[in-house]
Amino acid sequence: MIQGTASNVGKSILVAALCRIFKQDSLKVAPFKAQNMALNAFVTREGGEIGRAQAVQAEAAGIEASVDMNPVLIKPEADSRSQIIVQGRVAQSISAAEYYEYTPKLLKKIVSSLKRLRSSYDMVVIEGAGSPAEINLKPREIVNMRVAKIAQAPVLLVGDIDRGGVFASLVGTLELLDEDERGYIKGFILNKFRGDVKLIKPAIDFLEERTKKPVLGIVPYFRNITIAQEDSVFLDERAQRLPATDLDIAIVRLPRIANYDDFDPLEEDGSQVRYITKAAELGSPDLIILPGTKSTYADLKYLRQSGIAEGIIQKAKGGTAIVGICGGYQMLGKAIHDPDGVESETGSALGLGLLDAETTFTRQKSTTQVKAQVATNWEPFQETAGQELIGYEIHMGRTQNIGDRSAFHILETPEGKADYEDGTLNAQGTVWGTYIHGIFHNAGFRQGLLNWLRRRRGLPERWGGAGIEKEKEYDRLAELVRHSLDMKRIYQIVDQGITREI
């Protein structure tokens, strides 16, 4: 099990790396995270939702993702409530106080999922959440030491040395654990290190002497390996390293933004992708994207209050291309109706009015993988008309075209052949939306859209970009981490379990 001294210390990436390393070493391995709080979700083949990080880890392990890899997913909503996904399906929407009364029931589901994974795989690599030393949460936590004890899993504790205070964090975490819990910690990993390792050797010697536990590796800070990120803190980090490119794409960073990894591939083919939170930051982009959101009503209100909504409307009037994905698509229509109070008690709300379509929320949530086809040869899809696309849907509600044309046609889901329309394209071909997450991961479609934008500006087209080959990226990650960790000792820890110190 990989636990951390805090959130965003690199647990998810290290689990992905270890999954890849164990796969390379001919083990059948699966990831597991008992409880995940994330708005970046993935839809499995069986139509269940899990955290995006576990889907990435499964990819690294060379297996198909399943709901057992993340049996409890918490998706924060508006008004301090969260939607609880249990083994892939929506269970209920509750407050934080109610959730902690609910955890004993969830623990049974966690145990059943873990048992199924352990019966099917040689090894399960478990990821914790936040810190195991959150003493206010310990009595009811179901993701850190309680899971380690259930699984009888040795724990490697990860600290982020880049943020400072890592040695205090590691020692302090141990101090706040119960004595029996400290026995589960078999060693430390220092993550995100910059500089000469020799300079911190005295500190490492002190840490090992103080705790009687080994430092099992120091993983360098890296930015040249592209792996999908789950934590929205990543958006703060990437904002500081915008590349020099020919296209400018502005994505609205909604307060409850979901599945922002939809847009990672846009940077592969020569686009500058920046996330904005203020109307003044819009600038003069070639494309504005409204992303998915967990709470369409609340984030639509944010768009209006921030002035971004009016800014987008004015840009659209001037011919700027606008795209909406999922909740962003719903916002682009004329109106959103919520007769059952799924998201709001207001009943209906005006959208931005950039698409002649209306959305009605229903209690049933659509979660499915899809195979689709570009259904029109109207701008901006002349070169991609008829292309097949793959992606997935996660949404509440249905959107009906009134006067505009459909953009895509759904051909297939895991249940078999399908035949329904998706998305809307305005008459000018400048504004469109879709429910398909992952649409920009389809290289031909993505490059066709970006080249349409380039032609509008008189820029040369780009085709056949290198793109990101996921398998090579996972191999590069595994190579870096393998050479940074004492894998021989880690295998010894795995073999000996929690019975004694190594």
Compute the radius of gyration of the chain from its Cα atoms. 23
| Model pLDDT for residues 480-490, shown as the tens digit of each residue | 999 999 999 99
**CA-based nearest residue to 372, from 420, 343, 410:** 410
Average pLDDT over residues 425-437: 96
Q: Considering only 121-125, 261-265, 354-358, which range has the smallest mean pLDDT?
A: 261-265
Average pLDDT over residues 88-114: 90
Residue type, 463: W
Domains with residue ranges and CATH for the chain: 2-226+472-496 (3.40.50.300), 233-457 (3.40.50.880)
Contact at 8 Å (CB) between 440 and 273? no
Residues contacting residue 395 through CB under 8 Å, at least 6 positions apart? 326, 327, 330, 365, 366, 435
Give the chain's end-to-end CA distance (angstroms, integer). Answer: 16
Tell whether the model's pLDDT for residue 235 goes beyond 90: no
> Which residue among the candidates 19, 395, 437, 441 is catalytic per the annotation?
437
Query: Model-level pTM?
Result: 0.85
> Which residue among the candidates 19, 326, 395, 441 is catalytic per the annotation?
326
| Model pLDDT for residues 370-384, shown as the tens digit of each residue | 999 999 999 999 999
Residue type, 24: Q
**Tokens representing residue 134 in the block:** 């959150």
pLDDT band with cut points at 50, 70 and 90 for residue 232: very low
Contact at 8 Å (CB) between 229 and 257? no
Q: What pLDDT was estimated at residue 499?
A: 64
| Model pLDDT for residues 7-22, shown as the tens digit of each residue | 999 999 999 999 999 9
448 torsion bin: left (phi>0), alpha (psi -120 to 50), beta (else): alpha
Q: Is 19 a catalytic residue?
A: no
Average pLDDT over residues 348-357: 96
| Model pLDDT for residues 239-263, shown as the tens digit of each residue | 444 444 689 999 999 999 999 889 9
Rounded Cα gap, residues 30 and 19, in angstroms? 7
Average pLDDT over residues 58-71: 97
Average pLDDT over residues 35-46: 93
Q: What pLDDT was estimated at residue 464?
A: 62
Tell whether the model's pLDDT for residue 269 goes beyond 80: no
Handedness of CA 268, 59, 2, 256 (dihedral sign): positive
Q: In which order are the strands placed within the sheet that holds 81-86?
A: 35-37, 72-76, 81-86, 89-95
Tell whether the model's pLDDT for residue 288 goes beyond 90: yes
Average pLDDT over residues 278-282: 95
| DSSP E strand stretches across 265-356 | 271-276, 287-290, 292-293, 321-325, 335-337, 348-350
Q: What pLDDT was estimated at residue 102?
A: 87
Rounded Cα gap, residues 46 and 67, in angstroms? 8
Total count of residues recorded for the chain: 502
Tell whether the model's pLDDT for residue 106 goes beyond 70: yes
Q: What pLDDT was estimated at residue 230?
A: 58
Q: Is 437 a catalytic residue?
A: yes
In percent, how much of the chain has pLDDT > 90?
78
In percent, how much of the chain has pLDDT > 70?
95
**CA-based nearest residue to 424, from 439, 409, 413, 437:** 409
Please name the helix (run of DSSP H) or strand (run of DSSP E) that holds residue 72, with its range, or none: strand 72-76
Q: What pLDDT was estimated at residue 240?
A: 46
**Percentages of the chain per state (helix, strand, coil), in multiples of 5:** 35, 30, 35
Average pLDDT over residues 322-344: 94
Mean pLDDT, the chain, as a whole number?
92
| Model pLDDT for residues 133-189, shown as the tens digit of each residue | 999 888 889 999 999 999 999 999 999 999 889 999 999 999 999 999 999 999 999
**Tokens representing residue 8 in the block:** 């965003």
Q: What pLDDT was estimated at residue 271?
A: 86
CA distances to 88, 151, 183 from 31, in Å: 16, 13, 23
CA distances to 72, 95, 190, 210 from 81, in Å: 15, 4, 35, 42
pLDDT band with cut points at 50, 70 and 90 for residue 236: low
